[in-house]
Structure 1
Amino acid sequence: MALSNDLRPENKALVVILTALQLAVVVAVWMLAIVPAGLLALAVLARKAIRTGLKGEAR
């Protein structure tokens, strides 16, 4: 494979922008996956706490 000296160098600003966009997409995907799971876990814990509280009052 021959190397060519006439290749244009990367535009550093474009590299930074694309890297930031990729990071933003990764963070957004993780948040979309984690937040609903966290809310579901909190709902389960709250439901258990409410049931335990109601059982304690009935006695």
Structure 2
Amino acid sequence: KKFGKTIEELNNELQKRSHLLYEMQKRKIFDFKQNQKIINQYHKNPEAVLTAFGINMLNKIQ
């Protein structure tokens, strides 16, 4: 029995996080506390945070 995530799952997660960081940079969100809040929210509910930033990963992940 295998444990952990597949390479595809890891790549998808990396893409999501990269897009989120890119959107944060575009919106000039550089404050530590703002970054911390967004990252904490992402860990609790990634899809809600991605949606709030207008990121639709279904269209971007191939």
Q: For this structure pair, what is the TM-score category when the shorter chain's length is used for normalisation? A: 0.3 to 0.5
Higher helix proportion: 1
Larger CA Rg, structure 1 vs 2 = 1
